[in-house]
A and B are shown apart, each in its own frame.
Chain A
Amino acid sequence: MRSRVVVTGLGIVSPIGIGVSDFWKAARSGQSGISAITSFDPFPMDGYRSKVAGQVRNFAIERFLDSPHGDRVDRYAQFALVATKEALADSALQMAKENPHRVGVIVGAGMGGMVMGEREITQLYEQQKPHRVHPNFIPVITLNSASGIVAMAYGAKGPNLTISTACSSSAHALGQAMCCIREGRADVVIVVGADASITPLVFAGFCSLRALSSKFNDHPEKASRPFECSRDGFVMGEGAGTLILESAAHARKRKARIYAEIAGYAATSEAYHMVIPREDGLEVANTMRLALMDAGVTPAQVDYINAHATSTTIGDAVEAKAIRQLFKSRADKIAISATKSLVGHTLGAAGAIGGIASVLTLHTGNIHPTANYDDPDPACALAGVSRSGQERRVKVALLNAFGFGSNNAAVVLKHAIA
C-alpha cells in the first residue's frame, strides 16, 4: 500500500511578510504586497512599460541566518534558506534524529540566480575582462544551487532535485515530492519554491513579452487583479515557500502536528505553444481531473481552488473555462482565491506559496480574499471568487499551476482528518 503524504511544516518569504504568521495575517486581510520599482540602480525605470512588482523589502540574509550558507548563493536561494529554516522549526523535525539519507530536498525554481548572473554578464561585456568573472558565477547561476545549499545547511542526503518548469515549478516540486514519499524513496522531503529575478534584464524580458500589467503603474496595489474586467497582465513577484512533506506514518511516529495531506497530483503538457495556453481549456481541465483521480476524490468533493490566476487576459479566462468544464454547476459553489492578487506572480515560488495558502485554508478554515476583484469579468465569471475573506470548513483543496512551455500541474490537498 502506498504511503499517505502529509504536510508538517511551513515557511515563507513573501512580499506581504517574511514568516507564515505575518504572511497569513496579511493575506486574510487582503493586503497587497505590490509596490513601485523605484529604480534598477543605476538606471531609472523610464524605459520600462511596467513599473510595479511584488518585492520583498529590506531583506538581509544575516538577519535570518547565522551560518555562512547564505553567503555563497544568490537572492532566490537565500530566500529558500530562510523559508526552509522556518519550516523545519515549525515541523519540529530534528535532523539529528533522522536518517539523513531518508530526507530529500526538491526545489522548484524558474529563473534561478539572476541577480549575480546579470551583474557578471554586464560587467564582462562592458569591461571585456574574462578573468574578472566571479569564481562563484557558475555555481550560483546553476539552477540547482538552492536545492544544493538547502541540503548542505541541514544535512539532507536523500533525493536532491530541482524542477524548472517556469511558473509551475514548485507545484511540480510538491507533486514529485509526494510521489517520492509514496514510492518509499524518502520519509521526508523538504519542498521549496523560490525565485528572485526582479532584475533589469528579466523584467525587461517580461515587459517585451507584453506579459506584465502596465495600466496601474500609479496605483501598484491595483495592478494584480485576477479574473477582473480591467486586468492587463501579471505583476512580477519574488519570494520563497517551503513545505515539509513526510509520510503519515513517519509524522505520527514522531507525534508531529499535521497541517494537511497532499493527496494527488497530475503533470501534463499541452504540447501547444511556448507561452499561450489552449483557449478551449481542455488540457487544463484534464490536468485537474487527473489530479483528482490520483487523489481518489470526485469533482463534487472539491471545496476550494487556489487558482493559478496570474491576472493575464487569456490565462485567467482559460482557467475559469476549464473549471467550468470540469466542475459544471458546482463550479459556482467552490471557493476560489488568487494568491497572486496579493503577492504578484512569484514564478518558480508560486506553486509553493499557493500551496502554503491552500494548506492554511484547510488547516484554519479561512479563505483569503482575492484583491481587486471589483468588476468580475464575464469571460471568467465564477461565483466562488470572493473579494472578501471567508470562513468555511474546507475538506478538499485543488492547487493549479501552469507554466510557459505548455506546462500544467495540479495538486490535490485534503484536510488532515478528512
Chain B
Amino acid sequence: MATDPGISLKIRTALGQYLKRDPTTILMTDHLRDDLGLDSMAVIELLYRIEEAFDLQIPDQDLVGLTRVGEVVHYVEKRLGKTSASLPTKNTAKPSKLKNKKKS
C-alpha cells in the first residue's frame, strides 16, 4: 500500500525530534521498541505528539496495533481518510498492554 509522503515525513520528523536523530534514517519497517529503542512510555509520548500534529484522538484499543513506524503511518492515513471516530481493530476487546505496564 502506498503511503502519503507528507504524513510519513511528519511522523518520522516527530520521531527524529524525540530520538534526536536524522528523520531520514528512520525506516518504515523500524520497530518502535526493538529498532528505535522506545519504551512503552516513549511510545505514548510519540502518539501524543502525533495526535497533536494531525488533530486526532487515538483510542486506547488502537494502541496495540501500532508497533512499527509503517503501522503508525498507515493508521494515521486511515484515520485521516475516514470520518468515523474510531477504526475497528482486531484487538478492540483486549486491554492495552501499554496502559497496564506501569506501576500505580
Contacts and interface: CB of A to CB of B under 8 A. Distances in A.
A210 to B, nearest CB: 39
Interface in A112-169: 131-132, 134-136, 139
Nearest to A68: B20
B57 interface: yes
B57 A131 contact: yes
Contacts of B20: 68
Interface residues of B, number: 8
A134 B44 CA distance: 10
Interface string B17-60: 00010000000000000000000010011001001100001000
A131 B41 contact: no
Contacts of A131: 51, 57
A191 B14 CA distance: 37
B67 to A, nearest CB: 18
Interface string B52-77: 10000100000000000000000000
Nearest to A134: B48
Contacts of B48: 134-135
B45 A135 contact: yes
Interface residues of A, number: 7
Nearest to B56: A131
A315 to B, nearest CB: 38
Nearest to B20: A68
A139 B57 CA distance: 22
Interface centre among B48, B51, B52, B57 (most CB of A within 10 A): B48
A230 B40 CA distance: 55
A139 B41 CA distance: 10
A393 B41 CA distance: 52
Contacts of B44: 135
Nearest to A132: B52
A135 B48 CA distance: 7
Contacts of A136: 41, 45
B79 to A, nearest CB: 14
Contacts of B41: 135-136, 139
B49 to A, nearest CB: 10
Nearest to B57: A131
Interface of A: 68, 131-132, 134-136, 139
Given A131-B57, A136-B41, 11 more contacts: A68-B20, A131-B51, A132-B51, A132-B52, A134-B48, A135-B41, A135-B44, A135-B45, A135-B48, A136-B45, A139-B41
13 contacts: A68-B20, A131-B51, A131-B57, A132-B51, A132-B52, A134-B48, A135-B41, A135-B44, A135-B45, A135-B48, A136-B41, A136-B45, A139-B41
Ranked nearest first, the 7 interchain pairs of A and B with the lowest CB-CB distance are: A135-B44, A135-B48, A131-B57, A135-B45, A134-B48, A136-B45, A131-B51
